[in-house]
Amino acid sequence: MHSLVLILILILMKYTSQDNKVSEFEFFQSRCDYNCTFEPYHVDAETLKLFPTKCREVCAYLLIDQTSDVAEKQLVTAFKNVKVLYGSLKVSKTNLTSIQFLSGVEFFECDTDSPLLFEANSELTEIGMTNFKSTSCGITLNNIQKMGRLNLPNLKNFYTLFDPPLLSIDIANKLCMTIEEITNFVSSDVLVMHPFHNPYCNFSSSELSKFDEKICEVQQFSLKSFDSSCKRIFGTVMIQSGDEEHVRKLENVTWIYGRIVINGTSLSVIDFFDHLEYVAYFKDDEYSIYIINNTGLTNAVFPNLKLVRTTNKNPRVIVFRDNNAQFSTVPTVCFNIRNSLNTTEKLIPYIDGRTCEDIANVSSVIEPFVWLMLIGTFLTLFVLNDYII
């Protein structure tokens, strides 16, 4: 009896294994010619001989690890003609210094929600896929202590087949991104970014020349002396008492690589960020847009704001606190800000500890009560008037 059960289990395992293999390679069938499909999972000196070196588009599940007895030069030769990859990539526990052997790859589509995974590569200093432009894959960097830069200057097109692609970085604090990489990543509607400590690299004049708009780095922001021809600001925009007459200088700003703080002004409305589209701030202990102690403030509009990108796990990225009481009692102000960002996140914006729904609920309770009070007061006066007459 036990022997029969064992035989049935073995048969079941055999067919399950075959089904899984068929399922795995179904993804490849509509994308690659059989001659351009690399079937071995593990890359080593023997399996690399089977790699379809003449193919421009290759389907493969690629694992390169500590047992992959291949030199970087061999990988460069094997992948030199590849422009498109379908499948997956895992580089783990190697001594590679970069992934430049894939520098010709322009497009990578993953067949699952598994990311392009780079983990525990002790000598890896960069990814270095300099022609990489488009992907459905997330990117995970884990336990890579020497990495200083991504060197992914052209990666800007993200799309999703499964879960949204995720940029997850869990490595040494020295990693930074160029302003070009940050711009490309932030502009994506689908890319999700996890926290990392030192997001911005020092940028050079040659890097800034790639942008059509003037970028200005500010250390101690002064609106009075701010150059209104700057369309992109690198640093914190601080607006405080005394700056009210200068706020129109910000009308042409499109990007802020930093945060906005408006504190203690006499402004009644924030309506001077006419062209602001993106705010990218990556410290997870502060709000990206923080508007506080403006006692006359009753309204705020950001007509072209598309995205406030942050790695803060707390989604309270736009916070209003201790402004005019009217600001926290009129739900349309709150909903207009949320709608401009095309988001359904309930904590955007966050006004005096309340969401838009909280404000709307309170308003719906208070408004009838106020009307009842007014009607009651009117009737009381009417009755008293008749009594006196």
* Structure tokens belonging to residue 152: 């992914």
pLDDT of residue 370: 44
Please provide residue 242's backbone torsions phi and psi, each rounded to the nearest 5 degrees: 100, -15
pLDDT higher than threshold 90 for residue 337: no
User: Where do the DSSP E strands lie in 15-75?
Assistant: 37-38, 57-64
CA distance 200 to 205: 15
For the chain, which residues make up each domain, given as ranges?
A: 26-175, 206-362
The architecture in CATH of the region 206-362 reads Alpha-Beta Horseshoe (3.80)
User: Which pLDDT tens digit goes with each residue over 357-380?
Assistant: 999 887 554 455 444 555 555 556
What CA dihedral angle connects 281, 206, 159 and 131, to 10 degrees? -140
Under a CB-based contact definition with an 8 Å cutoff, are residues 240 and 290 in contact?
no
pLDDT of 203 strictly over 90: no
Indicate the class that CATH gives domain 26-175.
alpha beta
| Whether the domain at 26-175 and the domain at 206-362 fall into the same CATH topology | yes
pLDDT one-digit tens code per residue, 2-54: 454 444 434 444 444 334 444 556 788 888 999 999 999 999 999 999 999 99
On the question of pLDDT at 347 being above 90, the answer is no
Residue 181 has pLDDT above 80, yes or no: yes
- Summarised one tens digit per residue, pLDDT across range 88-135 is 999 999 999 999 999 999 999 998 777 899 999 999 999 999 999 999
